[in-house]
Amino acid sequence: MDHFPKKLRDKLSERAENNCLRELTISHIPIDFSSNDYLGFAKDTHIFEGASALLAEKNYKVNGATGSRLLSGNNLLYEVLENKLASFHDCSAALVFNSGYDANLGVFGSIPQRGDVILYDELIHASIRDGLAMSNAKAYKFNHNDLSDVYRLLNSTRSNSNYGEVYIITESVFSMDGDSPDIKAFVEFCKDHSCRLIVDEAHAVGVLGSSGVGLLQELGLHQEVFARIVTFGKAMGCHGAAVLGSTTLKQYLVNFARSFIYTTGMPPHSLATIQMSYHELSHTTNLDGLKENITYFREQLALQGLNFIESNSAIQCCVISGNDRVKAIALQLHKKGFDVKPIMSPTVKEGQERLRFCLHAYNTKTEIAEVLRLLAIFI
């Protein structure tokens, strides 16, 4: 007898009927246009061997952290890494979290207080939304990348004289569109209206700016924001995340971020891998190759007459409405050897389903031209 609750079985059935039931698969498709491994670091043997050599040099012959960082899980590798991150990203302090999800839960679940106001882009990542759900502050979404809507919401919330801090939340590269806000305008807006800006740079680090420092540093605006979140599971090819900001911000998160306090620390090998990934980032030529491929991809779109969302990042998206249709086209590309993932509702709004192409330094010009030639035929 199946004792699984009927309400939950009904939810699964509804997903299946809408052709959007999620399942775990192992991809054997040879040509990668789906992973976040933009620079190829996840498969880089120099990083893998360098991390092992670093642990051997420091005589770290352990497999796990043994506890939370506030108990037994902290070690010298954390201190070295966080100092390196602060130097590379030109900030006062960095605090490493186990993942980007944990970092966003920690930041947004602990910083905004009762009486504060949060204004967030309607397309922010699910992890930020989950963090906001843990907060006691009032949160309002604004239209995607629309500062005029931010202004409207700000005036509305400040009509109440009892408002506290106002936090504005956005991303430097949005994961489902690949586009970017006018960061300079957002920074100026926050300065003019006494708001605190927090930017998630998950898909910008390792991709944008000199040596992959991210969009804010590329524009010289990184000192003007309250906090940045950088993650290591995309271009850096490993795992984990860090919050960048002031020393006081770091101290606050160590004391109040629940996703930091109540979890086992990262194993030493993960910390060594992050350190070696940043070492590789400082002198790799893969970043130049990635930027060339992004430019070439956009050129081929024009050649094939394909209409994609405007993006200068490694994420390029073609909106194809309907779960059935976008899934069918992805399957056709799979059969030709190209791993391109359909992004379906409810992950995106109904009618905004899309094929998401993730570009990499290791994609060849031939692969890019061919996959877009096929797409033009299939749609």
Kindly report, residue by residue over 225-282, the tens digit of the pLDDT.
Answer: 999 999 999 999 999 999 999 999 999 999 999 999 999 999 999 999 999 999 999 9
pLDDT at position 295 is: 97
Q: Do 328 and 234 share a structural domain?
A: no
Q: Do 327 and 249 share a structural domain?
A: no
Among the candidates 226, 261, 281, a domain finishes at 281
Kindly report, residue by residue over 70-82, the tens digit of the pLDDT.
Answer: 999 999 999 999 9
Place of tokens 């807006």: 189
Q: Do 191 and 310 share a structural domain?
A: no
- Does position 1 have pLDDT exceeding 50, yes or no? no
pLDDT at position 161 is: 61
Burial call 25-45: b when 16+ CB within 10 Å, e when fewer:
eeeeeebbbbbbbbbbbbebe
Residue 218 lies in a domain: yes
pLDDT at position 5 is: 92
CATH of the domain at 81: 3.40.640.10
Determine the average pLDDT of the residues in 290-304: 97
Instruction: Give the chain's domain count.
Output: 2
pLDDT at position 72 is: 96
Place of tokens 């980007």: 100
Q: Which domain holds residue 374?
A: 27-41+285-378
pLDDT at position 18 is: 86
At 29, the pLDDT band (50, 70, 90 cuts) reads confident
Q: Are 360 and 293 in contact (CB under 8 A)?
A: yes
Bridge partner list, 230: 242
Question: How far lies 210's CA from each of 247, 282, 375, in Å?
Answer: 25, 9, 33
Q: Does the bond joining 112 to the residue before it have cis omega, within 30 degrees of 0?
A: no
Residue 19 lies in a domain: no
| Residue type at 36 in one-letter notation | N
Q: Do 200 and 214 share a structural domain?
A: yes
Residue 47 lies in a domain: no
Residue 108 lies in a domain: yes
Q: Do 209 and 155 share a structural domain?
A: yes
Residue 8 lies in a domain: no
- Does position 322 have pLDDT exceeding 50, yes or no? yes
Q: Do 100 and 156 share a structural domain?
A: yes
Among the candidates 281, 315, 332, a domain finishes at 281
- Does position 116 have pLDDT exceeding 60, yes or no? yes
Q: Do 247 and 150 share a structural domain?
A: yes
Residue 7 lies in a domain: no
